[in-house]
Chains A and B, each alone.
Chain A
Amino acid sequence: MASLNDYLLVSGLLFAIGLAGVVLRRNIIIVFMCLELMLSAANLSLVAFSRFNTVNGLPNYHGQMLVFFVITVAAAEVAVGLAIIVALYRARLTIHTDDLTSLKG
């Protein structure tokens, strides 16, 4: 059976992939997906901690509670975020971040 560090390593790598996607990709939808990847990576470490730190012989369900909330909030976030992207596309006809520089000072 895999050890805690294995899980954390895999989780960290997934987070790194998500980070790379956020920084490197220019398509805002892909960026958004990569954000989801990063959230999921965090979830994985939470579940791993929950499993590896037992309470009364059972997994620590407080960690899984947090995962539950993260997933739910992430779902809400995705809905709102995608709605914003749609509105953005309607206004600018692009979702390429290089073209969205109206915040430039």
Chain B
Amino acid sequence: MPTYLFWIFSAMMLLGGAAVIVFRNPVSSALSVVACFLGLAGLFTGLSAFFVGIIQILVYTGAVMVLFLFIIMLLDLKDEDKRAPSLAPLLAGLGLVVAFVSQLLCVLSRSPDQIAPALDPQALAAAAGHFPAGEKIATALTAGRLPDVQLIGHMLFTGYNLPLQILGVILLVATVGVVVLSKRTQH
């Protein structure tokens, strides 16, 4: 990905994130989150993580944020009424963030930088040898394409089978939990 695209998507993500905490209206905040996640999805794509990028848009921007909006409208939230701003928590919060960012910069300035290894057709073709010949993955790799979805699927069902099952159970539990929680208690 060209560097300027990286900066554009980064700026979109960070500005969207900043807008989330700046806007008073929850709906605006939610839409800012959508913008932020779109930028993030762009960054994912730039990192050749196509599947994750798509998931980010489908699940987060599509499902989760719609759920947020749905709840905001369900609760019929107005703009936050102005409250007397208290300085101490604000300063403390900002101090915390500044401390964190300075630590981050410090760590990054110390750690050695790294350039992304090339993912050009030659490299991909060379990687094809690690997969059964004639299968989809090997074919795509030989053709110089990155079969992202197939590779993730391969790993998911070979190396992460049990966690996947457990994840299914977690989702089920969450579903049941949500149903129980949102049932109106009868008096």
Considering only residues 51-76 of chain B, those with a C-beta below 8 Å from chain A are 51-52, 55-56, 59-60, 63-64, 67-68, 71-72, 74-75
Considering only residues 1-22 of chain A, those with a C-beta below 8 Å from chain B are 1-10, 12-21
Which of B67, B111, B114 is A78 in contact with, Cβ under 8 Å? B67
A34 CB to nearest chain B CB (Å): 6
With A and B bound together, what is the CA distance between A67 and B26 in angstroms?
27
Q: Which residues of B contact A43 (CB under 8 A)?
A: 40, 52, 56
B143 close to A (CB within 8 Å): no
- A16 and B104 contacting across the interface, CB-CB below 8 Å: yes
- B100 and A19 contacting across the interface, CB-CB below 8 Å: yes
- B14 and A10 contacting across the interface, CB-CB below 8 Å: yes
Considering only residues 89-125 of chain B, those with a C-beta below 8 Å from chain A are 89-90, 92-94, 96-97, 100-101, 104-105, 108, 111, 113-117, 119, 123-124
Query: Interface size on A (CB < 8 Å)?
Result: 73
Select the residue from B89, B94, B114 with max chain A CB neighbours within 10 A.
B114
B133 close to A (CB within 8 Å): no
- A3 and B114 contacting across the interface, CB-CB below 8 Å: yes
Which of B17, B47, B51, B152 is A17 in contact with, Cβ under 8 Å? B17
Q: Which residue of A lies closest to B1 (CB)?
A: A1
- B26 and A47 contacting across the interface, CB-CB below 8 Å: no
- B49 and A47 contacting across the interface, CB-CB below 8 Å: yes
- A20 and B152 contacting across the interface, CB-CB below 8 Å: no
Select the residue from B67, B75, B104, B167 with max chain A CB neighbours within 10 A.
B75
Q: Which residues of A contact B37 (CB under 8 A)?
A: 40
- A1 and B167 contacting across the interface, CB-CB below 8 Å: no
B46 CB to nearest chain A CB (Å): 8
- B20 and A34 contacting across the interface, CB-CB below 8 Å: yes
Q: Pick 22 A–B contacts, CB within 8 A, sort by A.
A: A1-B2, A4-B115, A9-B105, A14-B14, A23-B96, A24-B94, A26-B80, A29-B71, A29-B72, A29-B77, A40-B37, A43-B52, A52-B117, A54-B119, A57-B124, A59-B48, A59-B49, A71-B55, A73-B170, A80-B174, A83-B178, A96-B80
A residues contacting B by CB (< 8 A) are 1-10, 12-21, 23-27, 29-30, 32-34, 36-37, 40, 43-44, 47-48, 50-52, 54, 56-59, 61-62, 64-65, 67-69, 71-80, 82-87, 89-90, 95-96, 98
